Amino acid sequence: MAEKIFSMTNKLDYTTPSNWHAYDVEHIWHPYTNIAEPTPVFPVASAQGVTIRLADGRELVDGMSSWWAAIHGYNHPALNAAIETQLQSMSHVMFGGLTHEPAVRLAETLINITAESLQYVFFADSGSVAVEVAIKMALQYQVARGKKNKNRLLSFRNAYHGDTFGAMAVCDPVNGMHSLFSDVLPQHYFADAPECNNQGVADVRQVSQLIEQHHPSIAAVILEPIVQGAGGMRFYCADYLRQLKALCEQYDVLLILDEIATGFGRSGSLFAYQQASIEPDILCLGKALTGGYMSLAATLSSEKIAATISQGEPGNLMHGPTFMANPLACAVANASIDLLFRSGWQQRVNAIEEQLITGLAVCKKLAVVNDVRVKGAIGVVELNQAVDLHWIQPRFVEQGVWIRPFNNLVYVMPPYIINPEELKQLTSAIYNVLSEMTAIAPRELSNC
């Protein structure tokens, strides 16, 4: 076996992007990729506003907000300044036994802008970890009440809550991305995906039966409010949330809402649960929390949950990430939320929604399209076949846009600062590429 020789000397010529790009292809695992047949990766030189500039000079209008997080676009002076200012005092201190002003300020803000019952904040590293913490909160709460048998969760088909093991266990077990691990994951209950009729009336019969039958063993229901994200980009009505909340109260079950994707305006309201006029017992936030600058998430809980856990055994909430409440991340989160409230975000999101409705409507006539739907600053074109990323990703780049489809979904969640011309480029590119896809026989497409 060949011995690896230790060396700190970089041998690549980093002034030539093609060199380090080739090294990336050979050695770096990107999200959900196969190293034997890697999907295309495009070297980025810089990003400004809603524009991603590739190393070869091409400029792309960003339709993804870097996986839904960069709501203010890139390289924003207010967010840059927040990090630069914070850096002068401290980049990080452990949160065990220490605290700092950016974290306290952020906690106060989150408590002020979320449901009145949410009074305690746990800062985590990422959205997946925020969900792990929420699950622990729910389970510890039940144990502290002397109800150890309430140790399972109820989740939903088409749900996605993250990639760590606890989060994977409440993702769709059949059609989700984690079926490979099904034999080692904790087993939970799953209801059908939320459904509503054309009048906005929810069908809760099946979930009602599950809760009625299994509530002695259900600690909490976990759900993405109004929008199911990576599990299918599905939208449903507020009435479903209202009825689900009533069922949880009736049967002594907690309600965890995962707003990691929908929080901070994406669905048209500041938080999606507000459209149902309900309050969750536990709320998970992330992604846009820092405006896409740094990884940070938060799990908020009611005083009832925090007090019950603290009075039980062992009394402590059993979680504590090393980089919890990182001062740089908290500082930029404070600046991002302040910027959001000063930006007229609701008018911006409403304008994006209106333009997405008209701009994507033309896709309905294409043979490969099954459905077109829009909610807030989310536009979705659902196809009747899975996309081939090897074929479709370069097509979008040729159109001057960055759109990252998955499964049979081509969608956009652009930064709120996008202007009408840039948004038109995104919707036109979707129509153009799907038109080309329609013209290609499925067999030819799979051989591209």
Q: What's the pLDDT tens digit per position in 34-82?
A: 888 888 999 999 999 999 999 999 999 999 999 999 999 999 999 999 9
Clarify whether residues 316 and 357 are in a common domain.
no
Supply the DSSP symbol for 285.
Answer: E
**Both 364 and 223 in a single domain?**
no
> Does one domain contain both 331 and 357?
no
Phi, psi of 405 (to 5 degrees): -70, 165
Q: Is 189 a catalytic residue?
A: no
Q: What is the rounded distance in angstroms from the CA atom of residue 61 to the CA atom of residue 427? A: 11
**Catalytic residue, candidates 13, 32, 56, 252:** 32
Is 297 found in the same domain as 383? Answer: no
**How far apart (Å, rounded) are the C-alpha atoms in residues 282 and 239?**
19
The predicted model gives 328-353 an average pLDDT of: 98
The reply to whether 241 and 219 lie within a common domain is yes
pLDDT given at position 3: 66
pLDDT of residue 175: 76
Residues near 74 by beta carbon (within 8 Å), at least 6 away in sequence? 47, 48, 49, 50, 51, 52, 62, 292
pLDDT-derived band of residue 441, with 50, 70 and 90 as boundaries?
A: low
Between CA 220 and CA 214 the distance in angstroms is 11
Catalytic residue among 62, 172, 258, 281: 258
Q: Which amino acid is at 261?
A: A
User: Is 32 considered catalytic here?
Assistant: yes
pLDDT at 179: 78
Residue ranges making up the domain that contains 65: 42-72+344-446
Answer whether residue 16 is part of any domain.
Answer: no
How far apart are the C-alpha atoms of 134 and 136, rounded to whole Å?
Answer: 5
Q: Are residues 203 and 250 in the same domain?
A: yes
Question: Which residue in 34, 42, 18, 38 sits closest to 403, CA to CA?
Answer: 42
* CB-CB neighbours of 419 under 10 Å: 12
Claim to verify: residue 53 and residue 114 sit in the same structural domain: no
Same domain, 173 and 141: yes
CA proximity to 403, closest of 16, 149, 109, 61: 61
Q: What count of Cα atoms within 13 Å lies in the side-chain half-sphere of residue 31?
A: 7
Q: Which of 150, 245, 287, 375 is catalytic?
A: 287
In a shared domain, residues 83 and 142: yes
Task: Judge if 117 and 256 occupy the same domain.
Answer: yes
**pLDDT per residue over 223-275, tens digit each?**
999 999 999 999 999 999 999 999 999 999 999 999 999 999 999 999 999 99
Give the model confidence (pLDDT) of 405-420 as tens digits.
Answer: 999 999 999 999 999 9
Q: What are the pLDDT digits (tens) for 1-20?
A: 556 666 777 788 888 888 89
- Whether residue 362 has pLDDT greater than 60: yes
Beta carbons within 8 Å of 347's beta carbon, 6+ residues apart: none
74, 120, 141, 160: which is the annotated catalytic residue?
Answer: 160
Q: Mean pLDDT of all residues in the chain?
A: 95
Residue 112 lies in a domain: yes
Residue 157 lies in a domain: yes
Predicted confidence (pLDDT) per residue in 96-129, tens digit: 999 999 999 999 999 999 999 999 999 999 999 9
Q: What per-residue confidence (pLDDT) applies to 4?
A: 65
Percent of the chain whose pLDDT exceeds 90: 87
The pLDDT of residue 311 is 93
**pLDDT tens profile 368-378:** 999 999 999 99
Q: Is residue 27 part of a domain?
A: no
- Give the per-residue pLDDT at 1: 52
Q: Is 29 part of a structural domain of the chain?
A: no
Task: Select from 14, 16, 40, 38 the least CA-distant residue to 27.
Answer: 38
Cα of 40 vs its chain's centroid, Å: 23
Which residues have a Cβ under 8 Å from the Cβ of 28 and sit 6 or more positions away?
A: none
Please tell me the predicted confidence (pLDDT) of residue 177: 72
What span, in angstroms and rounded, lies between the C-alpha atoms of 361 and 230? 22
The mean per-residue pLDDT over the stretch 153-162 comes to: 97
| Residue 139 within a domain | yes
Identity of the amino acid at 399: Q
The CATH number for 183's domain is: 3.40.640.10
What pLDDT was estimated at residue 117? 97
**DSSP bridge pairs for 196:** 202
Is 420 part of any domain?
A: yes
Assign 3-state DSSP to the chain and report helix, strand, coil percentages, each to 5. 40, 15, 40
pLDDT at 336 over 70: yes
Active site residue 160: yes
Measure the CA–CA gap between 299 and 140, rounded to whole angstroms: 15
Number of structural domains found in the chain? 2
Whole-number Å distance between alpha carbons of 263 and 388: 30
Residues 191 and 214 in one domain: yes
Q: What are the DSSP calls for 155-187, one per residue?
A: EETT----SSHHHHHTS-TTTSS-GGGTTTSPP
User: 287 catalytic, yes or no?
Assistant: yes
Residue 371: strand pairing partners: 382
Query: Which amino acid, 89?
Result: S
Contact between residue 306 and residue 300 where contact means Cβ atoms under 8 Å apart: no
Least confident of 177-181, 302-306, 326-330: 177-181
Element (DSSP H or E) covering residue 39: none
CA-to-CA dists, residue 186 to 152, 153, 168, 181, 233, angstroms: 8, 10, 9, 10, 25
428 and 315 housed in the same domain: no
